């Protein structure tokens, strides 16, 4: 699944609990911006994806636009991904 600032992939987990991976490529940015984006995405995934993901693994990959996004803008996109993941988990 793709949003404006994020790509997401999901796969069946071999474990009984969900896992979320976060990938933030460098995109010629400094480490401070990259770490801030990673922290934001990890926190949003913990709050919004893990509770609804069932037993699937989700991988979030940031696009270059994610560096410019506010926490609230990322939250909206992670909510869309969480609903998508919940649909996959319920199958």
The angle formed by the CA atoms of residues 38, 13 and 71, to the nearest 5 degrees, is 20
Question: What DSSP character marks residue 46?
Answer: I
Scanning 23-70, the segments in alpha helix (DSSP H) are 31-44
- Per-residue pLDDT tens digits for 39-90: 999 999 999 999 998 889 999 999 999 999 999 999 999 999 999 999 988 7
Task: Write down all domains in the chain, each with its CATH number in brackets.
Answer: 6-89 (3.30.230.10)
Quote the pLDDT of residue 15: 87
- Per-residue pLDDT tens digits for 5-49: 999 999 988 888 899 999 999 999 999 999 999 999 999 999 999
CA within 13 Å, CB half, 58: 32
CA 87, CA 42: separation in Å to the nearest integer?
Answer: 21
Q: Do the bridges between strand 56-62 and strand 19-23 make them parallel or antiparallel, or are there none, so unpaired?
A: parallel
């Amino acid at each position: 699944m793709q949003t404006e600032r994020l790509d997401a992939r999901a796969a069946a987990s071999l474990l009984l609990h969900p896992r979320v991976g976060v990938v933030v490529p460098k995109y010629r940015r400094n480490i401070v911006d990259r770490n801030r984006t990673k922290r934001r995405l990890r926190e949003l995934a913990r709050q919004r994806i893990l509770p609804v993901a069932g037993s699937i693994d989700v991988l979030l990959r940031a696009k270059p636009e994610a560096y410019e996004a506010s926490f609230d803008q990322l939250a909206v996109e992670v909510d869309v991904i969480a609903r998508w993941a919940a649909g996959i988990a319920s199958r």
